[in-house]
Amino acid sequence: MCNSVSVPDETPLDDALYAYSAGHADGAAGRPDSHRAAHPGTGADYRAGLADGSVSAFQAELLKQVRRALGDSPQDHQPG
């Protein structure tokens, strides 16, 4: 006997990952999309990506400014 439970509000993983990725890109660029953020199925994933992208952009800018203040050049920190 198989006891499978169907969750009607479950978002397919591909849709959730796409929404998160789009949100991350929009957050990093500083361009939130209110339409995507309000989507009933993937809005939460988009908003999570948006927040993560914003934090990533902030961290990159902070690191750049700290290096500039310390007199380091970006080439000093590139691999290889």
Residue 2 lies in a domain: no
* pLDDT over 70 at 50, yes or no: yes
Interacting residues of 50 by C-beta distance below 8 A, sequence separation 6+:
23, 24, 26, 27, 32, 37
- 5-45 pLDDT per residue, tens: 444 556 688 999 999 999 999 999 999 999 999 999 999 99
**Residue 61's domain spans which residues?**
13-70
Whether the Cβ atoms of residue 20 and residue 48 lie closer than 8 Å to each other: yes
Secondary structure string (H, E, C) spanning 53-77: HHHHHHHHHHHHHHHHHHCCCHHHH
pLDDT at 76: 62
Selected residue with higher pLDDT from 80 and 48: 48
Interacting residues of 54 by C-beta distance below 8 A, sequence separation 6+:
27, 28, 30
Residue 44 lies in a domain: yes
Look at the chain and report how many structural domains it folds into: 1
Residue 77 lies in a domain: no
Selected residue with higher pLDDT from 72 and 16: 16
